[in-house]
Amino acid sequence: MATRARDSIEGTTRIVGILGEPVEHSLSPRMHNAAFEHLGLDYAYVPLRASSRTIGEAVLSIKTLGLAGANVTVPFKEKVIGHLDRLSPVARTVGAVNTIYPDGKRAAGLKGENTDVDGFLKALSSSGFRLRGKRVLLIGAGGAARAVLYALGKGGAREVTIANRTVARAKRLAAELPTGKTKIEICGLDMLKTPELFDGVGLVVNSTSTGLSGQLKGYDPSLSGQNCVHFDLAYGRTPTAFTRRARRKRRPAIDGRLMLLHQGVLAFNIFTGRRAPVDVMARALGLPKRR
Ligand code: NDP
């Protein structure tokens, strides 16, 4: 496939962006722009900073300014829903949206999709982790945790314990989401100090937003079994504190960039109607060749 270096934004350029607060840390612009450039597509991906006060207007501007779409990050995945015209069945069930695009099929309107669910499952399977029948500890109960919990049910996890700072939020999450035969337990973050919590746990997922500011206080990976996989949804340009600590204790760890890659591949297909160049996007994220 021919490649073309973008030297300017033209009047024809389609704009896609990432809505969040903060957005400076996001690697989505780098990943999508590398893919546009590789395929020679006249698209550009930009950061779109909003606030809780302006998020409604920001979503509306996707329509009024004719953007090709937008991704949504912390802390707006749940908040954007009230400003959209339609939701995919997965986004409706999960109650969180990470991809917004103009839905051309019916009268002009914005549709919300959630590619985090399948992005998470693909990141697990491409790391060689078999989820079916496993016990999982999910730390956090925000927008990303909604997608992860639904994915864990879809992927056949046997049992999930949700540990969250605000226990009521975790309870609400468990009550609202269908998880099939997967059994759900709830606890507060203080329980992370209890060795029994880790009995038979094969996967720990950190879905808190602490990765952006620092590490999850009180979490000790050595309480888990030797083969317990640690998956941090948060990511940076280098491995996060949570993944580094897990690896230091010789626990296998999955980097949040792998989920970013796979949710981004699905979003790219939606924005452009083209098959995403996965290897190009992975390279842009600094992921190793073998993923
Ligand atoms: P939300 O703001 O919706 O939720 C934040 C969660 O973190 C809540 O459970 C909150 O607890 C918890 N939390 C916040 N601060 C602390 C703290 N100091 N100590 C303990 N818990 C805390 O964020 P999202 O769910 O949308 O995103 C969470 C993370 O996942 C972000 O880092 C995001 O970048 C990442 N992410 C990565 C993706 C990827 O592709 N790799 C995809 C999606 C998300 P409480 O309920 O008590 O407030």
Distance 67 CA to ligand 1 centre (A): 27
What is the 255 CA–ligand 1 centroid distance (Å)? 15
* pLDDT tens readout for residues 28-75: 999 999 999 999 999 999 999 999 999 999 999 999 999 999 999 989
Rounded to whole angstroms, the Cα distance separating 243 from 22 reads: 22
* Residue with CA nearest ligand 1 atom 12: 208
Atom 22 in ligand 1: residue holding the nearest Cα: 208
- Mean pLDDT computed over 256-264: 97
Pocket of ligand 1 (CB under 6 A): 73-75, 77, 116, 140-145, 164-166, 169, 189, 207-212, 233-235, 256, 259-260, 263
pLDDT at 97 over 60: yes
Give distance in angstroms: CA of 173 to centre of ligand 1.
14
pTM for this structure? Answer: 0.94
pLDDT value of residue 123: 98
Q: 1 falls in which pLDDT band (50, 70, 90)?
A: very low
Instruction: Give the pLDDT score at 2.
Output: 42
Give the pLDDT score at 8: 81
**84/103 Cα distance (integer angstroms):** 11
DSSP characters over 217-240: TT--GGGS-TT-EEEES---SS--
Question: What is the set of active-site residues?
Answer: 77
Nearest CA to ligand 1 atom 14: 209
Does 3 score more than 90 pLDDT?
A: no
Q: What is the DSSP letter of 227?
A: T
Q: Please, which pLDDT band fits residue 161 given cuts at 50, 70 and 90?
A: very high
